Amino acid sequence: MNQREASKQEWTAQPNREDINSGSLQRIADATEKMAASYDSMRAERDRYKTWYDDRGRAIAYLDKRIAALRGVITKMKKKNK
């Protein structure tokens, strides 16, 4: 049995405290690494969505300018025909 598993058990006799403490610290370290991995994936997902959002905003701005330009051309053509 490794120290991690030993630190999880309920003891009835007096165990070696150093083994239990080192096992507990190993479990805490494992949990911390798991939280850090989760945070990294969440941050990467946030960055990916931000990139998509910014790209979409630029595309919308481009299309808005294009629509305005075409409306101007239509207006010029109407005035020219009158």
Nearest alpha-carbon partner for 8 in 29, 25, 23, 26: 23
Lookup result for tokens 């300018």: 65
pLDDT category, 62, cuts 50, 70, 90? very high
Using CA atoms of 26, 32, 36, 42 in order, give the dihedral in degrees to the nearest 10: 130
pLDDT category, 34, cuts 50, 70, 90? confident
Report yes or no on whether pTM surpasses 0.75.
Answer: no
pLDDT surpassing 90 at residue 45: yes
pLDDT surpassing 70 at residue 14: no
pLDDT category, 23, cuts 50, 70, 90? confident
DSSP alpha helix (H) spans, 1-82: 3-8, 17-81
Residue of higher predicted confidence among 13 and 53: 53
Distance CA(48)–CA(52), nearest Å, equals: 6
Sign of CA dihedral 8, 9, 13, 16: negative
Distance CA(22)–CA(4), nearest Å, equals: 8
